[in-house]
Amino acid sequence: MQYDAAVIGGSFAGLSAAMQLARARRKVLVIDAGLPRNRFAKTSHGFLGQDGRAPQEIVDIGRSQLLAYPTAQIIHAEASAVAQSEQAFSIELSNGQKISAARLVLATGVKDELPQIAGLEDRWGATVLHCPYCHGYEVADRRIGVLGSGPGSIHQAALVADWGPVTLFTMGVVQPSPEDLALLAKRNVQIENAPIVELVGAAPEMEAVRLQDGRVLPLGALFLMPRTRFVSDLALRLGCSTEEGPMGPYLKVDERKQTSVANLFAAGDVAAPMPNATLAAAAGVLAGGAAHQSLIFG
C-alpha cells in the first residue's frame, strides 16, 4: 500500500508528526508497537494542558484525534525492515504487511539501561526517576538520593536539592573536584562513597537503601542518569548520522528534523539529547510539517 508518509512510533512525537500530515490531507500511516518509554510512569507532568494525566491516556486521546482525519491510519505492529529507493521507502511489518511511503518520520524512541541494583527496576518511574522537572514535585521533601554514574551526576545532585535533602552516592565512579565539592556543599548535598546494593521497602515505594558495608540509610526517592540506546536500529541501517549526548547516542537532525538521509525525518527522544514530553511533541510538529513541505518543494 502506498502512503505519502509513514511515521514509525506512535507516542507524543509520532502522533504530533502524523497530525500535521493528516491536516494537510496527506495519506499518512502511523506504525506503533505500543511500547513507549514512559509506560513505567503513572502520570506525566510539566506538559502544558496534560499535567497529571497518565501517559497512555494522553496517547489514547492523541490517537483518537488523529483518526478523526480520514487520511490517517494507525497500525499496531513493529517495523522490522526498511529500505529506501529513489522514489520511496519500503517498510516490512512484523505482521507480514508491506507498505511504501514517499516520506518517513522516525519517532522510535530510546530505551533506558538501568543499573543492576536489587529492587531498582521494580521502582523505575515511581520512586526511581531520571527527571526532576517531570517527577521532582511528587517526591518533594523526602530524603532523595542521586546515583552516581558520571560527571553529570554532580549537576543532577545540585539541581535536585531544590526538591529535598539530597545525598550523592558516588558508587566508586564519581570523583568530585574541589569546585564540585564547593558547589555540593553550598547546596547542602551530602556525599556517600559506599555503593548502594539494594533498595528497601514495599515497591514501588522506597523506604531506604542498603549499602555495601551493611548500613541502611533512609531514602524516599532515587534519581539517576541512565544510559540510553535506540529501541530500533532502522535509522542506523538506513545510514543516519548520530551524535553523542550526555545519556547516549541520538540521531543528528537539522532545525527542521531532517536527518542526514534524504526524505527521512526524526523526532522525539531518538533525535534529542534531552528527553521531555513537551519537546517530543514539538519536535513531531516540526518533523511532520517539514515532511509535508518536502513533498511539495523537494
Residuewise pLDDT in 10s, the chain (298 residues): 799 999 999 999 999 999 999 999 999 999 999 888 778 788 888 888 888 899 999 999 999 999 999 999 999 999 999 999 988 999 999 999 999 999 999 999 999 999 999 999 999 999 999 999 999 999 999 999 999 999 899 999 999 999 999 999 999 999 999 999 999 999 999 999 999 999 999 999 999 999 999 999 999 999 999 999 999 999 999 999 999 999 999 999 999 999 999 999 999 999 999 889 999 999 999 999 999 999 999 8
Q: Which CATH superfamily is domain 2-112+227-297 in?
A: FAD/NAD(P)-binding domain (3.50.50.60)
What was the pLDDT predicted at 207? 98
Provide the 10 A C-beta neighbour count for residue 142: 16
Residue 45: Cβ-neighbour burial (10 angstroms; 0-12, 13-18, 19+)? middle
What was the pLDDT predicted at 116? 96
- Domain 115-223 fold is FAD/NAD(P)-binding domain (3.50.50)
What was the pLDDT predicted at 52? 86
Nearest to 34 by CA among 61, 71, 60: 60
Q: Give DSSP secondary structure letters for 56-104.
A: HHHHHHHHHHHHTSTTEEEEES-EEEEEE-SS-EEEEETTS-EEEEEEE
Q: Give dist(CA 136, CA 56) in Å, integer.
A: 20
> Would you list the domain boundaries of the chain?
2-112+227-297, 115-223
115-223: same fold as 2-112+227-297?
yes
CB distance 283 to 270 below 8 Å: no
